Structure 1
Amino acid sequence: MQISRRHLLSFVPATALLSAVHPVRPARAATDAPGGAGLLLSNAIAIYAGTAASNTRPEVAAKLTALDATARTWLAAMDRAGSGELFAGLPLGTSDPNLSASYQHLYELALAYRRPGPASDLQGNEQLRARIADKLTWLHATYYGDQSRGYYGNWFTWEIGISTYVSKTLALIDAPAELITLYVGSMDAYLRNGTNGDVNLDSRFHTGANLVDITANRVLQGALLGDDARIQKALQDQFTVFATIDPYNLQHGVTDGYYADGSFLQHASVAYTGSYGKALLSRVVQTIKILDGTPYARTDELVGVVNGWVEHGFAPLIFEGWMMEIVKGRAVSRPGTGYDDVAVIVEAVVDLADYATTADAARLKAFAKYTARPTINPNSFVSPVSIARFADLKADPAIVPADLNPAASSTAYNAMDRTVHRRPGYAFALARNSERISKYEYMSGENLLPWFQGDGAHYLYLSGQDQTRSYGVDYFTTVSPYALAGVTAPVETRRSIPELYGTAYYDRPPEFTPSSEAQNSYVYFPTGTNAYSGGATLGTYGVAGWVQSDDFAYAHRAGLPSDFVSYRNAEATKSWFLFDDEIVVLAAGVGDADRAVTTTLDTRIAAPAAALTITGGRRNGDSWSGVGAVDPRWLRYAGDGVAVGYYFLRPGEVHVSLQSVTRSRRVIRTSNPDTQVTKQVFGLTATQPAGATRTLAYALVPNATESALQAYRHGRLGVLANTTRMQAVQHLGLRLTAANTFTRGQHQLPGMSIDGPASVLVRRGAGGQVEVAVSDPTTARDTITVTLWAQYLRAAAPTPGVQVVRTLTGTRLTFTTRHTYGASLPIKLLRAW
């Protein structure tokens, strides 16, 4: 379900739309406030601390035990604190992470104080409550309240992080009115990227997940103050994130949020469903729960929007309970797993189901049960109520686990340059970039070696596996950043930002400061400089194409300071053809004038003791095994419970390697524990010297057996073109032709011509039926024309956006691609009698 911004404005009373920003007024008892602020506050407390009913459930006991243990840990640390510390080991005064952590630990103490359920000496302990209030007062007086001394380090700490912990803590301890008023005034003052202490929708800091965090805090603050106008204004601002982003009609210049194709962006250009996207999902579902029973907003339509996010934005990116790497930004370097990511989504889905329509609720519950594999840890849920609700869902035999994804699908997230292709037994995920989407994200010492993560890097997930053995933090730790699966990279050595500049960012004020736009554009998440990145889908099949480019920083190096370091990329034009049993990859124009180049066809990791075999067949029919250089017809990697085949559609030497690699997780993130990881790393690469140009054509065959590869018929797949102008493949078994045309003008294929640039799929069925799908990977074309020669066809039904004209020589199809932002336009044609 999509929703417009104008429609969202009808969700709050007109008085709220006209309300001015009020100064903080003294707090009053929220339970006495008009408009349901008291109920809102009670709902919020129930989310974080649980209810009497939820907390007596045996399934919640472990959560409560952990909560109490955490509180005791911090009480002991408080007792050991030295000068300039609230908790031992967290010196205050110059470290904003330490200040935020101190507030976090007070919040964790407040949870132990407020939670209902089994008795504890901390529960309802007035001495503990007084101590928390006293320490809040001390922190404000000593380290937080002085605006001239605060706001060092990361803006997020001051505008979101501390405010989140403080707002919840004040609610949990029923803080005295003067403390609430004191803190809310300071929290408003620290909202420096806002306007007069309130949200600024024109600020690049107040978008997407960040906006939801800020406004959720302000809703809670309004409830604490009994300030109805503050609550209304915060909700008005938060509801803007529910509107589908229209890239041709941006509101407040904001590109962050959800797009019509299910894409989610944060930081203007980073594909981020699996990190910021899940955080946004969690907070908006909490908003729906907080508003339950209050008169502040109608939530039925909002629930429908969020249900659409789950089905079309999240579900295709979750494979057997694992969140795919392609949408996690810098979070790929964190030690948490893809299973941990999905636990956040499952909690949100379980809660959302209680507010959805009957049919949607049934689908959401079935998906939660299907997705929550044994890998899930319900104790990681935010709310004890959600743990109890999840336990009920698992125990209900009427809820049959079911994926929201069909068994076979091909999803083009062209608004964020991502592709996901799924079949029973595997999922293939592809990361691209363009002048619209970032090549990678580095920030705050996270994801130190990111350069090629958006340069055609792919991830092949196989069914029935523990994905931590193949991907996650250990993949990026042990695999060379130049040899990620699918990547073409120059042979050179690059240095991380801390290595280059001695800090976590490039420091040259006033342009380059930690949170400046220049830092974002040139250091943290530079876009590519290529227009062509996208692809079409036709039913369950797909094609994607991409032109490799330099990043934004290198392209603008002439205008940057002399000590700023940027890196030039190699060249390549690539296509991926997404079928049933194979993914066919073509690459043309691969090379570099001055440097040798390596293209990694695939990379996989395995446990140190795993028994791995690498076998293959040469073109003359001889068998081959082991490592080294070979010109194969096929190869197979197997072991550690997985098997992948490689079938080569053109002759050419490749190199097979298998090596044991040991590295610390700290090489990819400065704050990671210094955990040494050892993996066997398999690499399949094609190399070439400086000045050489190469083409590649091969198929990835998931779960392949040796017998299947030996019998793999070369005639099953035909490479029709593999140049920098056009790449095309014909799959005879599927009667499917797929093509990417990269340049202007007419491009000829057997039986058709394509007006490029374009991405096209054509499938022929029984009785002369033909299906065609077209997309514009440049997002800039008004129309694309495909002519089917000597074929006289008519539309099976009127198809908006497609004009069918019969000519003397065949059938001309004109697709209106203006303002479609890379979306596929399909049409079904029948023989014209």
Structure 2
Amino acid sequence: MTSVWSRRGFLATTGGSALTLGLAGPATAAHGAEPSPPHSAPEAAAAADDAFAALRTKWRALILGESFSPTAEPFRTKLATLGTQAASFRSAMAPASGSLWPDLDYRDPAPDTDQESYGYSQRMNDSFNRLSTMAQAYCQPGTGLTGDAALKDAVIAGLDHLCTDVYSASKPRFGNWWNFQIGSPQTLMDIAVLLHEHLSPQQIATYCAAVDAYVPDSAVSNYTGTSTGANRVDLCRVLVLRGVVGDSAAKIVVGRDALSPVFPYVTTGDGFYADGSFIQHTNIPYIGGYGAVLNDGLGRLFALLRGSAWQVDDPASRLFLDTIEKAIAPFIYNGLMMDNVSSRGISRGLTVSDTFQLAQDDHTRAHGVMASIVILGQGAGPAEEARWRAMVKGWLQRDHYGPALKNPKLSLVNTARLQALFDDDTVKASPEPSVHRVFHNMDRATHRRRDWAASLSMASRRIAHYEFGNGEHARGYHTGSGWLSWWGDDHGLEQYSDAYWPTVDPYRLPGITVSRKPLPDGVGGNWGNPKPATGWVGGTTDGEYGTAGQHLQGVTSTMEAKKSWFFLDDCVVCLGAGITSADGAGVETTVDNRNLGAAGTAALSINGIRQPATQGWTATRKHTSWAHIDGHAGYVFPGGTALTALREERTGAWKDINTGSSPQPFTRRYLTLWQDHGTDPQDASYAYILMPGAGQLRTAARALDHDWLQILANDAGHQGVRVPSRGFTGINFWSPGTVGTVTVSAPVSVQIRERRDGTATIAVADPSRTVQSLTLTWKRRVASVLSTAPSVTATGTGSALTLTFGDLSGSYGATQKVTVKLG
């Protein structure tokens, strides 16, 4: 084993194409065809052996990494830790009927009870994972166990035991299907690649037979059920690696060809949508979970098969590369993956065997995705790859809270990939973009600025409030109730990372309007995915500013509200109206709820008067025009409001919201601001401006400038604002009517931007997906129409602009843009 994994040496062993990912270029065989045979049977057999061996060499490098020095940090420490873990696993391994390790008994006492069986099938999966750790310690340099024959023999003995005792072609499946069809077979095949030269033909045949039994070709014969989206990619990886391990070209072809349904954009169900949305489990936004898995899985399979007889050359595969900038990047900010697209993953912060430093959070979830983008860039065009590398480098440099290169849980191969980019002086980091995106197919929106970002999480009859399953995410029920998360450039990056989810009051997430009616953990039931009956949820954008709205219906509640957000350059204007409930419980709108950490003492000022910093302090200030939290944000309340503030310490454990996590308690301090609408309100409302990162002076100045914001309407039928200094008008028409200078004939979202060059952009969307015709009139002199969306059927100019749209119900809520020359 050399001390440095040389890329040149590695490429020499793989024909010079090992990690080149490009999807274009010549392949040695047509899609779905076997490679052309040589002139004789012995030559054909030798060529086939060479082809499979080359794939195993590639996959080995994708597992272990390359071009890093085992004596340099952070690799030296990671390798030493790997060796220590492997030694611990080896010493504790004690094969017995029903277990390979005494603490991982996988015998299922209740095979007819899925929930009970889940834990036991997971223990089988964990057993394979421990063997993988041992195999990597054997293969990697600098572990202290590199090339240790006894360790290698222990791994093989462990594989033989598992593939006889539980993961065997003769044994029935139990518990969670994922452990038998994805988790365990992926790890089994990875180990078989790493130790292939040390395995007998009979052992390889036994392992492959087990995989064939649980993951037959029929597992990918139909694109439905558990064989869609990220799960389909995982199943294809199993089949392809089964072919690589067992020298089966047919299995590789089945696995490769079964990827094709993943590439095209979908219009319903699981997968990527044209607007960048990603859905898994039918109605759950999941870019940070299953989307990340799909991203990583496809990237590695593309890399593995590139240049072989089985290269992925489906033209639709190019669509997947487009998702990097359309779907993935909008939800990564300064090195963190926004929680509102990670669903149950946000409840997995601390597993029983972890320490807090190794806890999963929004930062660690982003790190693997960032590494995947780097490898996917190798298969994109030169301009795309340059943009992606600059983008990822910017995230690496700006993450001050949870840097990827200091993440002890990040795999060594991904660390090597990101370290190489970080050290590459030819790549200049790109800043965060100034852009607004509406993901109308998953009820999400992101607003990006150079020094702050925000993301909005909503629910509708199409998208669930939240997902509960396998005992995970027990109190996420209000994450779809208008949760407005935000981060600054050098502050707030820890807001959702520092034990937030087990300690926060789940009824007081930032931005939400909720009934305080008590809800049971996991309300809606296992995989119930509760959805409201409302359909008008979404918004519109010109690409820089945004207008969003949600007809909110509470979780198992009578509470309803109309909520609107208007995203500008330095703030978000938030309106609520028609807030009505008959639950017999109080209703609140949380303006913000800041996680101050274990001992934080951020100062709170209301109307310029500093409030007490005592824990447990609470007060309601009836005539609040503005408030400010030092180091966080400013809040302006047009017309004044009764604002309640609370400082409190809250204690919780990850096990409280995820049955598979640690019972270790954490205590965090919170500073919460909310408006109390009272018990069973009728037609209550609110209005406030959120100013991320603003100081006291700027906040006070905004509050004193009564001309800066004009609230045009804020009732159950219409909500709209105008900001003259920005040339901005945003209106959500819950019903037809006139607001300010705009009249519409149907319920739509409208945004108008008047620009200094004498043009204006009118952006319109049909979030309800019910509008079959629309007439919009803007009482503003317009000289001409410069461009229109295809949905526009007629225009009229002069003293007013008239736009006639055709059927918008099939537009899936997408923005329709019109650009005009002002008179």
Aligned partner letter, 2:452: Y
Q: Match of 2:279, SS?
A: strand
| 2:93 is the counterpart of 1:69 | no
Aligned partner letter, 1:646: Y
Aligned partner letter, 1:282: D
Superposed CA deviations along residues 374-424 of structure 1, whole A, max 9, x for unmatched, are 633447687655544433322222211114x42x21111111111111223
Q: Residue 85 of structure 1: CA displacement? A: 2.6
Q: Residue 771 of structure 1: CA displacement? A: 1.5
Q: Residue 274 of structure 1: CA displacement? A: 0.9
| 2:808 is the counterpart of 1:822 | no
Aligned partner letter, 2:728: L
Partner of 1:26: none
Which residue, out of 795, 819, 823, partners 2:785? 795
Q: Residue 358 of structure 1: CA displacement? A: 1.9
Structure 1, unmatched stretches of 5+, are 1-6, 20-28, 248-254, 507-518, 552-566
Q: Matched residues in 2 for 1:457 and 1:196: separation?
A: 42
Q: Match of 1:653, SS?
A: strand
Partner of 1:540: 544
Q: Match of 1:144, SS?
A: coil
Aligned partner letter, 1:167: M
Which residue, out of 81, 93, 105, partners 1:78? 93
Partner of 1:49: 64
C-alpha contact (below 8 Å) 2:722/2:730 kept by paired residues: yes
C-alpha contact (below 8 Å) 1:71/1:112 kept by paired residues: yes
Partner of 2:356: none
How has the CA–CA distance of structure 1 residues 15 and 667 changed in structure 2, closer, same or farther, with 3 Å as cutoff? Answer: closer
Aligned partner letter, 2:237: A
How has the CA–CA distance of structure 1 residues 227 and 594 changed in structure 2, closer, same or farther, with 3 Å as cutoff? Answer: closer
Aligned partner letter, 1:163: P
| 2:54 is the counterpart of 1:39 | yes
| 2:271 is the counterpart of 1:257 | yes
| 2:153 is the counterpart of 1:138 | no
Partner of 1:188: 212
Q: Matched residues in 1 for 2:223 and 2:314: separation?
A: 28
Q: Matched residues in 1 for 2:583 and 2:244: separation?
A: 64
| 2:133 is the counterpart of 1:108 | yes
- Report % sequence identity: 26
C-alpha contact (below 8 Å) 1:50/1:383 kept by paired residues: no
How has the CA–CA distance of structure 1 residues 419 and 348 changed in structure 2, closer, same or farther, with 3 Å as cutoff? Answer: same
C-alpha contact (below 8 Å) 1:334/1:473 kept by paired residues: no
Which residue, out of 643, 649, 671, partners 1:682? 671
Q: Residue 91 of structure 1: CA displacement? A: 1.5
Q: Matched residues in 1 for 2:690 and 2:780: separation?
A: 34
1:735-746 maps to which residues of 2 (within 5 A)?
735-743=727-735, 746=736
C-alpha contact (below 8 Å) 2:217/2:254 kept by paired residues: no
Q: Matched residues in 1 for 2:500 and 2:143: separation?
A: 45
C-alpha contact (below 8 Å) 2:436/2:546 kept by paired residues: yes
How has the CA–CA distance of structure 1 residues 53 and 36 changed in structure 2, closer, same or farther, with 3 Å as cutoff? Answer: farther
| 2:474 is the counterpart of 1:448 | yes
- Name which of structure 1's ranges 540-549 and 371-380 shifts more when overlaid on structure 2: 371-380
1:76-475 maps to which residues of 2 (within 5 A)?
76-79=91-94, 84-94=98-108, 95-115=120-140, 117-118=141-142, 120=144, 122-145=145-168, 147=170, 150-174=172-196, 175-191=199-215, 197-247=218-268, 255-298=269-312, 304-335=318-349, 336-372=360-396, 373=399, 375-378=402-405, 384=412, 386-403=414-431, 405-406=432-433, 408-465=434-491, 467-468=493-494, 470-472=495-497, 474-475=499-500
Which residue, out of 625, 630, 635, partners 1:634? 625
Q: Match of 2:469, SS?
A: coil
Partner of 1:568: 557
Partner of 2:615: none
1:695-706 maps to which residues of 2 (within 5 A)?
695-706=685-696
Q: Match of 2:722, SS?
A: strand
C-alpha contact (below 8 Å) 1:303/1:356 kept by paired residues: no
When normalised by structure 1's length, the TM-score is: 0.85
Aligned partner letter, 1:66: T
Q: Residue 809 of structure 1: CA displacement? A: 6.6
Q: Match of 1:711, SS?
A: helix
Q: Match of 2:128, SS?
A: helix
Superposed CA deviations along residues 104-163 of structure 1, whole A, max 9, x for unmatched, are 112222222333x4585x43444443433333222222222265x532221111111111
Q: Matched residues in 2 for 1:451 and 1:575: separation?
A: 20
How has the CA–CA distance of structure 1 residues 42 and 783 changed in structure 2, closer, same or farther, with 3 Å as cutoff? Answer: farther
C-alpha contact (below 8 Å) 1:457/1:486 kept by paired residues: yes
Partner of 1:720: 712
| 2:611 is the counterpart of 1:625 | yes
When normalised by structure 2's length, the TM-score is: 0.86
Q: Match of 1:757, SS?
A: coil
Q: Matched residues in 1 for 2:167 and 2:96: separation?
A: 18
How has the CA–CA distance of structure 1 residues 473 and 414 changed in structure 2, closer, same or farther, with 3 Å as cutoff? Answer: farther
C-alpha contact (below 8 Å) 2:509/2:592 kept by paired residues: yes
Q: Residue 456 of structure 1: CA displacement? A: 0.5
Which residue, out of 693, 700, 711, partners 1:710? 700
C-alpha contact (below 8 Å) 1:113/1:128 kept by paired residues: yes
Q: Matched residues in 2 for 1:314 and 1:769: separation?
A: 32
Q: Root-mean-square deviation (CA), in Å? A: 3.0
Superposed CA deviations along residues 572-621 of structure 1, whole A, max 9, x for unmatched, are 1100011122211111111212422122122111034323222122xxxx
Q: Matched residues in 2 for 1:53 and 1:213: separation?
A: 28
How has the CA–CA distance of structure 1 residues 569 and 77 changed in structure 2, closer, same or farther, with 3 Å as cutoff? Answer: farther
How has the CA–CA distance of structure 1 residues 293 and 774 changed in structure 2, closer, same or farther, with 3 Å as cutoff? Answer: same
How has the CA–CA distance of structure 1 residues 170 and 568 changed in structure 2, closer, same or farther, with 3 Å as cutoff? Answer: same
Q: Match of 2:289, SS?
A: helix
Q: Matched residues in 2 for 1:83 and 1:708: separation?
A: 69
Q: Matched residues in 1 for 2:689 and 2:655: separation?
A: 35
Q: Residue 624 of structure 1: CA displacement? A: 6.7
C-alpha contact (below 8 Å) 1:188/1:197 kept by paired residues: no
Superposed CA deviations along residues 326-355 of structure 1, whole A, max 9, x for unmatched, are 111011112112111111012112222333
Superposed CA deviations along residues 291-329 of structure 1, whole A, max 9, x for unmatched, are 132121256967754442222212221111111111110
Aligned partner letter, 1:632: H
Q: Residue 290 of structure 1: CA displacement? A: 0.7
Q: Match of 2:593, SS?
A: strand
C-alpha contact (below 8 Å) 2:475/2:657 kept by paired residues: yes
Aligned partner letter, 1:345: V
Partner of 1:491: 516
C-alpha contact (below 8 Å) 2:624/2:642 kept by paired residues: no
| 2:638 is the counterpart of 1:610 | no
Superposed CA deviations along residues 622-645 of structure 1, whole A, max 9, x for unmatched, are 857344112334333324xx2211
Q: Match of 2:221, SS?
A: coil
Which residue, out of 710, 726, 729, partners 2:721? 729
Aligned partner letter, 2:267: D
C-alpha contact (below 8 Å) 1:795/1:804 kept by paired residues: no
C-alpha contact (below 8 Å) 1:742/1:757 kept by paired residues: yes
C-alpha contact (below 8 Å) 1:636/1:704 kept by paired residues: no
Q: Matched residues in 1 for 2:781 and 2:322: separation?
A: 39
